Each structure stands twice: as structure tokens, then as C-alpha cells.
Chain A
Amino acid sequence: MGSGSGIFNENYAQDMATFRTRRDWGILFGFLIVLFACPLFFSDRMLTIMTMMGIAVVSVHGLNILTGYCGQISIGHAGFMAVGGYTSAVLCAKLGFPFWVALPCGALAAGIAGFIFGLPSLKIKGFYLIMATIAAHFIIIWTIIQLRSITGGPDGLSVPTPTIGGIVLSSKANYFYLVMVITCLATLLAKNIVRTRAGRAFIAIRDNDLAAEVMGISLWSYKLQAFFIGCVYAGVAGSLLLHYFSFASTDQFPFMDSVWYLGMLIVGGMGSTTGAIFGAVALKLLDELVTMAGPVLSAAVAPQAAASLALISHGLVIIIFLIFEPRGLHHRWEIIKAYFRLWPFSHEALE
């Protein structure tokens, strides 16, 4: 919100507010009411899609803090989700922990895993770090399979239906509410983390880590904080995912998911909380389109066309965004907002 909107900040509180005007608050409440009214008129299938979107949004927020803000590229996000998911699943299934205790435990475990695999980031960056995080993904999944007595290994592990208080989250609608509440809280938290001292340090590290260090930002501390926070988000998302299916299997965390989370970030626009939401929703919608088009295409062309369509369409979307709109959907959104704010004097558009 730059100048041109005709609204001026008169004190610090106004300057810092996320929602600045009555209209902003109105839009927020309108959105929340519509969102939480969804189970009233949507089918279970739609709710499943939206739940999956919510989980993806949480996960991409984490990746956004780590990659979009701190510049530490991670292609092992699904691996960290697996750590969080399995920790909470095992705590629930084997030790009988209640869901609301297991979820934060899973998040913490994922954070610690992220912390450990983030250690190489102190010495390496760019491609080397990507390799380290890819390695992290495969090592985590392999370890989970090896720990057969605890995790069920390749056979998987069934997880009891989560309950909070006296409410059993067995229906799609109940779980939808849970995921949406967590998604909204995660979004609010993500939006605010990047405005704190740590968040500003992350941005400085992303833009030039050597310069940041010279200015007195401890790379050691902040890079690891970014890994920890990013992976805590992944852990929450992973544990929501496993509890939704009431079943834990390493197949739920394929390597390609790690790639798609990064793809969501690129499509949405890196370094923007709104972008993370846009990206996750857009790629999940693309997923649904592919799922719908798949059977038609399979019948028309070849049985394997559906599987290949998913891969090719995702790859193409990412390439097209990188070439034509590297700043992602978030940038488009800003352009649209500026257009309406300045209308009819579009020549004043601020860039």
C-alpha cells in the first residue's frame, strides 16, 4: 500500500498494522465467514481438496520463510514433513498421546531435523545446499523405512482418528475446520515472523549473506533459525496430512512433492506470504484439473497419458512462470490491486 491510495498513516500503530482500514477488516471477516461456511454447502470431495490446499499452504509458508525470505533453497521439504508426520503418528498410535500433544511434538521433531540438516548451510549455498537437502529427503525416508519396528516401515502404520477435547475429527467437515484454523494461524504467524528482527535478518542473508555478516547478523544463528522455523511448518503440515488419512506411509511423502512445494513457491512468488497461498492453491487446482482430464486423456491417447500429463503440465507451468513471470502470481496480484486503486489515472501506477 503505497501512496496513491489516499490513506495516510498518522501513528506507529497504523504504520505497522497488517489490516489498515475498515475495508481491509471487512474483507478479512467476509473471507473468513465464507471459508468457514464452506462445509455447509460443499461436497466431501470439495472439502478434501480444500483441506489438501490448506495443508499445502502451511507447508509452503515454511518453505517460503526458508527459501523465499532466507534464500536457503530446500528440496527436501517433503522429507521434513515426513519427520513431523511420523513423529506425531507414532506418538498417537504407539504411545497413545492425544492428537493435540502429538501435533506440536511432530512439529518440534521436524524442526530439529531441519536444524540438523541445516548445519551444512553454514558452509555451503546454492546448488550445494540443494544437493544436501535432496540428500536429506532420501536419508530421512530411508531411515523411516529402516525403523520398521517403530514406524511400520514399508507396511505403513495406521493412526487413530484424532480427537480434540471431546470432539472426534472423523468427518471431513470437522477436519476441514481444524486444518483451516491452523492454516489461518500459520498464515498470520508467517506474515509476522518476516516482520520481526529475525525476519529482517533472513532478508538480509538472502540478499547478500557476506554483507549481512559484516553488518553483524549472525549467519550461524539466523540460518539455523530459518531452517528450524521452516521445518516446524513442514512438521505441522506433515502431521495434519497423516492424521487426515489415518494412515502413515512413506509413499505420502514422495520426492516429487519436495519439488512441487518449491514449484508452488515459484508460481506464487517467492518472498511473499500471499504468494505462498496463491502458489499452493494454484498448483493444487492444476492437480485437480489434471486428475479430471486424466481419465479422458487416458481413454483417448494411451493408458499412461494421465500420469505423464501430471508431470508434463507441472513442469511446463514452472518453466513458463520462470521465463515469463519470475515474480509469480503475487506480482500479478499487486499489479491488479494497483490498477484498481489508481483507476482512472493508471499512468500513476507505482512500481
Chain B
Amino acid sequence: MTFFLQLVVTGFALGMIYALIAIGFVIILKCSEVFNIAQGHFVLIGGYLGYTFLVPLSLPIWAALGMAIATAVIMGLAIERFTIRPLMGQPVLAVIMVTIALSTILGGLATLLWGAEYKAYHGLLPTITLKIGTISIPSESLIGLIVSVICVVLLMLLFRYSKIGLAMRATAEDLAVVQSVGIKATTVYAVSWVIACVVGVIGGILLGGVSGANMELAEVGLKAFAVVLLGGVNSIGGAIVGGIILGMSENVAAGYLDPLLPGGGLAKVFPFIVMIIVLIFRPYGLFGLTRIERI
């Protein structure tokens, strides 16, 4: 039982990080109907940025986080301006292919700058150890949980109260109306990409703190897709619930089944199995809007 609870708790913390990353994806999708395959590579860049700022530059954690966020903002603006804006109004495949191409370019940049090597920075993030009964919560998981919750709450506040947040929600609702009342859609798109980059980078630093930065961080993006499909692609709440469900079930399944399977690595394919099941039985996810099409 302790083993099970332990898996559930670490899975929950992991799931919150997935949820954070998935939110970046959902925000872009809601605002501009772009499916951003490169979300996982924002995480990858984030993990390596965290390493660069914390280890070779040995900045304090808050400064490192600030610098990483600043880099993410620049990255988001550049991506939106040079790759997404020229393709506005193009068919779905074109835009998806651009984000795929973007993901390979980001992967290539990470290879060039950091040599695709494993870079560890355990223990540099502040350590807090918590023990509830027999279950110990690893400090990295706890920090991941806290930071993700803070980010999610901040985003919720942004969408509820700030002007740009309201503009983004309105754009998600109806682009033509938004443009006719004088809101610049391009600004909204740019902000949505910036937010996606920032949450991706923060997620990358958190995950890098747990397992170190390496090229496999990009695969978290694929897990984020499973999360959004499970929760419903256009629901932020769904992303959170989906993230927690996926994080917990993945951890539990891997914990119990990996010793039984010879090759192991179930945690890697688990999100895809979830994905296929969701796509077959409930294509619009738990909280997604069912799209009704007319000719």
C-alpha cells in the first residue's frame, strides 16, 4: 500500500508539471487554432537553459528563473513573428508541419549549444523534504508541484482579470468579432506563444531538476499531447485534470508492470496507449467541446 501511495504522490507531482506544459499547448490552440507540436522542445530548451544559468553561470535560483523566462519570451516572439504569422490562414497540415519543423530546429539548436549531453543539476534547486506517514515526498517533486500550482493560478488570474487575458479569451471565442472591436489579433497570438514558451521552459527547469537535462526532455511534449487529448484540447481545466490522471496512472503502471515486462520502458509508451484509447472512444476528451461540422 505504501508503495502504491508513494507512486500516486510522485505521480501527482509529475502530473502537475505535465499539466503546466499542456496548458501552454492549450493556450495556443484556443487563441489561434494552431496545434503546437514543438511544445516538448520548449521543455527541452528550458531544461538546458536551467542548466546553463544554474551551473556554468552559477546564478542564484531566482535570477536563473528570471533569465530563463526572459529567453523564453524572446523565443516565443521570434517564433510567432517568423514562422507562424506568415502562415496564418493556411491549412491545418501546413501549420502543424511548421511546428514540427520548428521542433527539429529547436532540437538541432539544443544539440549545437549543449552537445545533446546529459547535464545534471540535482540539488541546486532548494531542498525541502516532506514526510507524510510512511510516504516521503522527494523535494524535486514538491517544488515541481508548488511552482506548477503557482503558475496555473497566475495564468487563471491573467485570463480572468487582465486586459490581454480577456482579449485572448475573446479571440478564442470569435476572431472576426475581436478584430472588429479593434483588438490586434497578432498581439494576442504573440502573447499566446510567449506564454507557451514560458510555461514550457519553466516545466523544463522543473523536470531538469528531477532527472537532469537531456534530449529526452522533448518527449515530455508527447506526454503533454496525451494530456490534452485526455482532458479535451480546448479546456485548461481539462489539461490540469488530464495531467494529474496521466502522471499518476503512468507512474503506477510503470511501477507495477515494468518488472514484469522484459524490455521495460512502459512509461514511454504509456501516454500513447492512453492517447489511442481516448481517440477511439472519446475523441474530444473529457472536457473538450464536441465540434459539429456543416458543409
Give Cα A154 to B261, complex, Å: 14
Chain A's nearest CB lies how many Å from the CB of B54? 21
Answer whether residue B14 sits at the interface, using C-beta atoms and an 8 A cutoff: no
Answer whether residue A98 sits at the interface, using C-beta atoms and an 8 A cutoff: no
Query: Contact: A138 with B96, CB < 8 Å?
Result: no
Chain A's nearest CB lies how many Å from the CB of B36? 10
* Cβ < 8 Å to B, chain A residues 191-213: 208, 210-211
Contact stretch, chosen from B131-139, B140-148, B204-212, B262-270: B262-270
Among the listed A145, A309, A319, which residue makes an inter-chain contact with B98, where contact means beta carbons less than 8 Å apart? A319
Query: Contact: A311 with B111, CB < 8 Å?
Result: yes
Answer whether residue B104 sits at the interface, using C-beta atoms and an 8 A cutoff: yes
Answer whether residue A124 sits at the interface, using C-beta atoms and an 8 A cutoff: yes
Give Cα A259 to B102, complex, Å: 12
How many residues on B have C-beta within 8 angstroms of the other chain's C-beta atoms?
Answer: 45
B248-276, CB under 8 A of A: which get 1 and which 0? 00000000000001110100110011011
Contact stretch, chosen from A15-23, A87-95, A297-305: A297-305
Answer whether residue B222 sits at the interface, using C-beta atoms and an 8 A cutoff: yes
How many residues on A have C-beta within 8 angstroms of the other chain's C-beta atoms?
Answer: 53
Give Cα A262 to B93, complex, Å: 10
Chain B residues with Cβ under 8 A from A131's Cβ? Answer: 225, 229, 275, 279
B100-126, CB under 8 A of A: which get 1 and which 0? 111111011111100110000000000
Query: Contact: B101 with A139, CB < 8 Å?
Result: no
Chain A residues with Cβ under 8 A from B51's Cβ? Answer: none
B interface, CB within 8 angstroms of A: 35, 83, 86-87, 90, 92-94, 96-98, 100-105, 107-112, 115-116, 222, 225, 229, 233, 261-263, 265, 268-269, 272-273, 275-276, 279-280, 283, 293-295
Query: Contact: A310 with B108, CB < 8 Å?
Result: yes
Query: Contact: A316 with B225, CB < 8 Å?
Result: no
Give Cα A177 to B108, complex, Å: 36
Answer whether residue A174 sits at the interface, using C-beta atoms and an 8 A cutoff: no
Answer whether residue A103 sits at the interface, using C-beta atoms and an 8 A cutoff: no
Query: Contact: A322 with B108, CB < 8 Å?
Result: no
Q: SS class of chain A's interface: helix, strand, loop or mixed? A: helix
Give Cα A296 to B276, complex, Å: 44
Query: Contact: B97 with A262, CB < 8 Å?
Result: yes
Most buried by A among B92, B104, B265: B104
Chain B's nearest CB lies how many Å from the CB of A282? 15
Among the listed A128, A146, A270, A326, which residue makes an inter-chain contact with B263, where contact means beta carbons less than 8 Å apart? A146
A interface, CB within 8 angstroms of B: 67, 73, 75, 119-120, 123-124, 126-128, 130-132, 134-136, 138-139, 142, 145-146, 148, 153-154, 208, 210-211, 214, 256, 259, 262-263, 266, 270, 301-305, 307-312, 314-316, 318-319, 322-323, 326
Q: Report, nearest first, the 3 A-B pairs whose CB atoms are least far apart.
A: A311-B108, A312-B108, A135-B272
Chain B's nearest CB lies how many Å from the CB of A262? 7
Query: Contact: B100 with A307, CB < 8 Å?
Result: no
Chain B's nearest CB lies how many Å from the CB of A328? 11
Chain A's nearest CB lies how many Å from the CB of B198? 22
Chain B residues with Cβ under 8 A from A126's Cβ? Answer: 35, 92
Query: Contact: A135 with B275, CB < 8 Å?
Result: yes
Chain B's nearest CB lies how many Å from the CB of A288? 18
Given A263-B97, A303-B115; A134-B222 close (CB under 8 Å)? yes
Pairs A–B under 8 Å by Cβ, sample size 13: A123-B283, A126-B35, A128-B279, A131-B229, A132-B279, A134-B272, A135-B276, A148-B263, A208-B295, A211-B295, A301-B112, A308-B108, A308-B111
